């Protein structure tokens, strides 16, 4: 989770595994809004990590399919 708009938490990475531990998706996600804190000390995320990330709405669509 990163901070967006100086007040909210935003999803920045999504990982889904099945009951066998197989990875179904593991990708970065651009949260809606302006990222105000990457919380690098906790997340390890940098601006470069999210440069080519999927948009939030696209991540939601993928998870709904899984």
How many CB atoms sit inside 10 A of residue 29's CB?
22
pLDDT score of 43: 93
Whole-number pLDDT of residue 28: 96
Q: Rounded to a whole number, what is the distance in angstroms from the first to the last CA of the chain?
A: 21
Q: In tens digits, what is the pLDDT along the chain, a chain of 66 residues?
A: 999 999 999 999 999 999 999 999 999 999 999 999 999 999 999 999 999 999 999 999 999 988
Domains of the chain, with CATH numbers? 2-65 (3.30.420.10)
Q: Look at the pTM and tell me if it is higher than 0.85.
A: no
């Amino acid at each position: 989770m990163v901070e967006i708009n100086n007040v909210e938490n935003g999803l920045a990475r999504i990982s889904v595994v099945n009951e066998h531990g197989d990875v179904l998706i593991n990708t970065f996600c651009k949260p809606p809004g302006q990222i105000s804190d990457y919380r690098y000390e906790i997340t390890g995320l940098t601006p470069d990590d999210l440069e080519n990330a999927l948009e939030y709405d696209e991540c939601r669509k993928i998870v709904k399919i899984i």
